[in-house]
Structure 1
């Protein structure tokens, strides 16, 4: 992509790395993050919660993560109030990536489970082999 939405290629790449790190850390905890909190935590560029450039950033991250088989990482980014779900852009991307969006709640929950499963397993690499006594 040659258009970096008004940012230099280096700044855009840095913002994507930051956002992915923030999202990955939150997904490891099986959590969610509001758009406004994510935007405030990205330091390499200035973005607001409703900034179209934030949505493009999230789209690129989700496309890359999906291509790698890890699901749409932006699934954990949600509205702070109201429905507390991802915005319509998430579901448009989900449809483009082949997800069934006829029931958006089911689409969201299914994708959320996939992303949380991947990242939480990554966070605790030895957890699968631990015995019950190790966990007590």
Structure 2
């Protein structure tokens, strides 16, 4: 699945939908493997830790938040071993346009709270 292809865009739409629903239900994190299984059930074979998953997560945050002013949907996806997002999330969160501050735990907890609050208002 190539970034920008029709299959990629369909998988991105599905991923955004899954994460939006999760955010609306209180922003409870889910593991990469769980997200991969949900995408598979919707007809999008996206491996949990390789291939397009990192790009899809980055694009999901950018699509929902192009100027960086809203919470990042990708904060909802965590590693099974650590129960925290991967290093890629923190790199994305610290660069433009997001520019999130704080140590990893503080940044992530703040992002989850902001996601829950933002989606509760919808």
| TM-score where L is the length of structure 2 | 0.85
Once the two structures are TM-superposed, the CA of residue 8 in structure 1 deviates from its matched residue by: 6.5
Q: How many residues were matched structurally? A: 116
- SS in structure 2 opposite 1:67? coil
Match of 1:99 in 2: 100
The structure with more radius of gyration: 1
Asked if 1:35 corresponds to 2:32, the answer is yes
Match of 1:25 in 2: 21
Moved segments of 4+, more than 3 Å: none
Structure 2 unmatched runs, 5+: none
**Is the CA contact 1:11–1:44 (under 8 Å) kept in the aligned structure 2?**
no
Once the two structures are TM-superposed, the CA of residue 66 in structure 1 deviates from its matched residue by: 2.4
By relative contact order (CA 8 Å, sep 6+), the higher-ranking structure is 2
CA offsets per residue over residues 7-52 of structure 1, 9 Å max, x none?
6621111101100110111111111111111111113431111114
Task: Supply the distance in 2 between the matched residues of 1:56 and 1:23 (Cα, whole angstroms).
Answer: 15
Match runs of 1:1-136 below 5 Å: 5-6=1-2, 9-30=5-26, 31-42=28-39, 43-67=42-66, 69-80=69-80, 82-96=81-95, 97-101=98-102, 103-122=103-122
**Is the CA contact 2:3–2:55 (under 8 Å) kept in the aligned structure 1?**
no
Structure 1 unmatched runs, 5+: 123-136
| TM-score where L is the length of structure 1 | 0.77
